[in-house]
Chain A
Amino acid sequence: MSPADRFLRNHRNEHLLFVGRLGFATAVVAFMVGALVWRYFDLQISRHGDFVTLAERNRIHVRAIPPPRGLILDRNGVLLAVNRPGFTLSIAVERAGNLDALLGALDELLDLGDGEIERFRELAARRRPYESVPLRYNLSELEQSLLAVNEYRLDGVEISAQLIRHYPLGERFAHVLGYVGRIDERELKTLDPTAYSGIYLIGKTGLERFYERELLGRPGAEYVETNARGRVMRVLDSVPPVAGANLRLQLDARLQEVAYQALADARGAVVAIDTKTGGVLAMASAPSFDPNPFVTGISTAAYKALVESPDRPLFDRALRGLYPPGSTVKPIFGLAALDSGVATSTFRIYDPGVFRLDNSTHEYRDWKKGGHGTVALYDAIVQSCDIYFYTVGTRMGIDRLHHYATAFGFGVPTGIDLPNEAGGTMPSREWKRGVRGQAWYPGDTVNSSIGQGFMTATPLQLAVAAARIAMRGEARAPRLGRTLGQSPVTNPVSEPIVAAAAHWDQVIDAMRGVVEDRRGTAHTAITAMGPMNYTLAGKTGTAQVVGVKQNAKYDARRLAKTQLDHALFIAFAPVESPRIAVGVLVENGEHGSSTAAPVARRVIDAFMQLYPDGAGLE
């Protein structure tokens, strides 16, 4: 640069320099515009499809519409299981952010108990991903308003209207209806996710579980457009759900009430069966429990109390309680003796109060000290003579006893429409070898012949046996369901028990004697309850809880309440043309006559009043 250049402006050079720089800048601008065009082309043209998918996934969500679960009604249309609309507060944990803070805020608003929070945490730990977890059901209007006002600071909180299963008659039907509860993880693995989309309750026990598939219905779907905050803006399309089928039962709610009340404070079970159809008219187990908390999620403390109660209220005694049937089997073995020719109606034995097997010194005692003297079949049943049945039982042998008892339903599940039925035990040689690894001893036959020893049965089986006697061998599986939606619930008939009519007459006549004969074991207890306008046949039973030693005496006063004998009673009425059969068990009720028979009579009385002759059940 010459010195002059420092003072003289060279316009041409400056202009050229400027134009050069501007040209360069323009080139850079052009390049940057190219970059923008390339980028927008890439997004909008090359990858357009991907982004359309993303945008659609953003806005469109498929929501399952849960179907209303089928109602359960008694035979007269009384609602036993209904769906009640309720507002549920649930939390989408994934969207909640700080869960502890949220629960704290909700606690301030709604006063959550520790139990509620604890239960929520349990449920939250087991939830499906992105599934909202219910915190409180059946929100009151005040609670809803509180939540609505504070919505802005309660991220993740959802209030939804849902149908919540409710059992209006509560504990009366708890065992037989069962209950629905939250689908747990184990069930989740086996369920069809489509069939259960939007559904979070499933039948856990009882009829709710047995008829789950039919009660469930089919969920519908709703295609909704949501905004960024997940709020539904509009429904684009929907497929309506199909409601579950209504289940109408054979049960009569009034009779069930009587049965439940008849058990009063006792631990026991009553089953009443419509002899002509096998329909179960009442099936109660006591003590019972309120099934409603199970639907919404029972608190751990409350559940623990139920499980740990010595009275075992959750246990369905009618379906699963196994008790030695005791003397209630005598009519059956009496019929077996007649039918197999071991005894005739005039066959007599002398009962000195004890029975000894040949070549044995072991004494099998009669319940009555000193014995009943000379007895034939009629008296053996009426007075429940053990020695008579020891004698004929030993003569028939266990194989024949097993054959007849099985035909009357002992040792096999009745096939009732309930899950987890217990089948009880009717022992046989094979059974003892298989289960105990021992040979059958003659002494086992003696015990079995009066329904003791290895033999156990459920109260339901007692009722079924009573019905089969009443129907002279006609064998039906018991049924709780009557109609499901529009279709009737079928009831399989198994092969009938064939015996001579005269033999049936003799046995049934003797059972009538149990009630009507002055010497009958149930006579006092039944007639003490006043005159009857129908005829009743029955048989008492007493089942030992603890064995009584050879030379000891059963002394009720010296035994704890839980060690007292169980009281049993089977009955049917009217004798001439039976319509109802009943099986009753009262745990530690001592004698079938004093505690179980009155329960049966109250149920049958109520039945006769509700359905007098002519006013048929159908």
Chain B
Amino acid sequence: MAQALSKPDFDRHLREPGAVVYGRRSHWLIPHVDPVLTLLLLILMAAGLLVLYSASGRDMDQVQRQMLFMGAGLAAMSFAAQIPPRMLLRWSWLPYVLGTLLLVGVDLFGSGAKGAQRWLAIGPARFQPSELLKIAVPLVLSAYFGSRLLPPRFKEVCLAVALLLVPLLLVAIQPDLGTAILIGSGGAFVLFLAGIGMRYLAVALIGALTGAPALWFFALHDYQKNRILTLLDPQHDKLGAGWNIIQSTTAIGSGGLTGKGWFQGTQSQLDFLPESHTDFIIAVLSEEFGFIAVLALLALYMLIVVRGLIISLAAPSMFGRLLAGSISLTFFLYVFVNMGMVAGLLPIVGVPLPMVSYGGTSVVTLCIGFGILMAVRSETDTRG
């Protein structure tokens, strides 16, 4: 604070009591892990491992690897929770710039899987820069709007949209529709919560509606078009594109109210269900544990979302509110897109079921998100 403050900055520092405590050294010494959220996440992880054990064909190795990922995730979460919100605010541009540069690198040098370039190989490890942006984009946008008067002005909205579009397009051309949706939504949630005018929303809506045909004819890959066509008529190509959706709805539907029992899901255990341990794992849960388990899982997710929204609502700074709100809503979108696509409600895009689907990247990214959520909450704690 050596230099002279601008009027709005001064104003903010004056009005936000929490601002004063950011710099306290003791912040690092007090644990900021949110016990409610952590408990809910642990229950979710345990349920996920239970389903994964069955979905992987009782492959204990796979379950252990997933446990390792979860451990790493929890560690990352605990660390992220300790970061002072002011530090997050100050360094918010760093992950964004780093992530965007890496994305360019991936698009140029990345290694592909299933015709999509997503991975960056660093030694033996593979890393998806697009994951980083799931956090970086909401972070940078929250920081941007958090330090400005709201509702934002036209110029600010334009800049924010530009900030959002750069990584979004870089991910979309990989192509990775699922991640693009999540990154785009993460940013859009910030914009929405920041209170951009309804006319922008109207323009965006009209733009989407008119842009959809253009997207269809010029941008979408054949396999992506196929997925949308398949959603409309799965019987069209029973053994090809329609197979996944037919088998997953069959698995879900045949589970009934209480399910067929652990390891008893015929669709899952006899390999009719594709990707049963990753993107389609909800079908295994639905088949083996039934509608009741689906409701229970959904309730668990909603408790987490609600907890996140409460943190958001309680945050003293606009930066914290926007960030926590966006992270919580994005988490919900994960759940909705995954459960919706497996149940044949949405086209199939590569979105895992959070904390349940097998895979390290998504677990760790999500955990970091929750860590940041907890960091935002620490702002609230220390104020009182």
Q: Is the CB of A227 within 8 A of B329?
A: no
How far does the alpha carbon of A14 sit from the alpha carbon of B321 in the complex, in Å?
11
Q: Is the CB of B15 within 8 A of A59?
A: no
Contacts of A126 in B (CB 8 A): none
Chain A positions 36-80 with a Cβ under 8 Å from a chain B Cβ: 36-37, 39-41, 43-45, 47-48, 50-52, 54-56, 58-59
Contacts of A40 in B (CB 8 A): 252, 286, 291, 294-295, 339, 343
How far does the alpha carbon of A73 sit from the alpha carbon of B192 in the complex, in Å?
90
Q: Is the CB of A25 within 8 A of B329?
A: yes
In the complex, what's the smallest C-beta–C-beta distance from A44 to chain B, in angstroms?
4
How far does the alpha carbon of A162 sit from the alpha carbon of B7 in the complex, in Å?
92
Q: Is the CB of A18 within 8 A of B318?
A: yes
Q: Is the CB of B253 within 8 A of A44?
A: yes
| Chain B residue, CB-CB nearest to A14 | B150
Contacts of A44 in B (CB 8 A): 252-253, 255-257, 286, 290-291, 294
Chain A positions 207-250 with a Cβ under 8 Å from a chain B Cβ: 225-229, 233
How far does the alpha carbon of A577 sit from the alpha carbon of B294 in the complex, in Å?
92
Chain A interface category by residue count: 35 or more
Contacts of B332 in A (CB 8 A): 29, 32
Return the CB mask of B314-342 against A: 1 if under 8 Å, else 0.
00001001100100010010001001100
Q: Is the CB of A48 within 8 A of B253?
A: yes
Task: Please classify the interface of chain B as helix (H, G, I), strand (E, B), loop, or mixed, using the class held by over half of its residues.
Answer: helix
Q: Is the CB of A50 within 8 A of B253?
A: yes
Q: Is the CB of A59 within 8 A of B321?
A: no
Q: Is the CB of B11 within 8 A of A9?
A: yes
Contacts of A226 in B (CB 8 A): 270
How far does the alpha carbon of A228 sit from the alpha carbon of B194 in the complex, in Å?
50
Query: Is A19 part of the contact surface with B, judged by Cβ < 8 Å?
Result: yes
Contacts of A161 in B (CB 8 A): none
| Chain B residue, CB-CB nearest to A53 | B254
Query: Is A142 part of the contact surface with B, judged by Cβ < 8 Å?
Result: no
Query: Is B128 part of the contact surface with A, judged by Cβ < 8 Å?
Result: no
Return the CB mask of A23-39 against B: 1 if under 8 Å, else 0.
00110010011011101
Chain B positions 142-189 with a Cβ under 8 Å from a chain A Cβ: 149-151, 189
| Chain B residue, CB-CB nearest to A54 | B250
Q: Is the CB of B249 within 8 A of A227?
A: no
| Chain A residue, CB-CB nearest to B191 | A21
Given the contacts A17-B195, A51-B252, A22 and B325 also touching, CB distance less than 8 Å? yes
In the complex, what's the smallest C-beta–C-beta distance from A1 to chain B, in angstroms?
10
Q: Is the CB of A54 within 8 A of B254?
A: yes
Chain A positions 403-426 with a Cβ under 8 Å from a chain B Cβ: none
Contact of A29 among B257, B271, B305, B343 (CB under 8 A): B305
Query: Is A7 part of the contact surface with B, judged by Cβ < 8 Å?
Result: yes
Chain B positions 88-140 with a Cβ under 8 Å from a chain A Cβ: none
| Chain B residue, CB-CB nearest to A50 | B253
Query: Is B230 part of the contact surface with A, judged by Cβ < 8 Å?
Result: no
Return the CB mask of A553-577 against B: 1 if under 8 Å, else 0.
0000000000000000000000000
Q: Is the CB of A21 within 8 A of B195?
A: yes
In the complex, what's the smallest C-beta–C-beta distance from B96 to chain A, in angstroms?
23
Query: Is B23 part of the contact surface with A, judged by Cβ < 8 Å?
Result: no
Given the contacts A9-B11, A47-B253, A48-B256, A228 and B271 also touching, CB distance less than 8 Å? yes
Q: Is the CB of A55 within 8 A of B254?
A: yes
Q: Is the CB of B270 within 8 A of A233?
A: yes
Contacts of B312 in A (CB 8 A): 22
Most chain A CB within a 10 A radius of its CB, from B254, B298, B343: B254
Q: Is the CB of B291 within 8 A of A25?
A: no
| Chain B residue, CB-CB nearest to A10 | B149
Given the contacts A7-B8, A9-B11, A17-B150, A228 and B270 also touching, CB distance less than 8 Å? yes
How far does the alpha carbon of A15 sit from the alpha carbon of B271 in the complex, in Å?
52
Given the contacts A29-B305, A58-B250, A52 and B256 also touching, CB distance less than 8 Å? yes
Contact of B271 among A6, A9, A227 (CB under 8 A): A227
How far does the alpha carbon of A317 sit from the alpha carbon of B307 in the complex, in Å?
96
Q: Is the CB of A36 within 8 A of B340?
A: yes
14 residue pairs from A and B, CB less than 8 Å apart? A18-B193, A18-B321, A29-B329, A29-B332, A33-B298, A37-B295, A39-B344, A45-B256, A45-B257, A45-B291, A47-B253, A48-B255, A51-B249, A51-B250
The interface of chain B, by Cβ under 8 A from chain A, is 7-8, 11-12, 15, 149-151, 189, 192-195, 247, 249-257, 266-267, 270-272, 286, 290-291, 294-295, 298, 302, 305, 309, 312-313, 318, 321-322, 325, 329, 332, 336, 339-340, 343-345
The 4 closest A-B CB pairs, nearest first, are A51-B253, A55-B254, A44-B291, A17-B195
Beyond A48-B256, A51-B249, A59-B267, list 19 extra A-B contacts (CB 8 Å): A7-B11, A9-B12, A21-B195, A22-B312, A26-B309, A29-B305, A33-B336, A36-B343, A39-B343, A43-B343, A44-B252, A44-B286, A55-B267, A56-B266, A58-B266, A59-B270, A225-B266, A225-B270, A228-B272
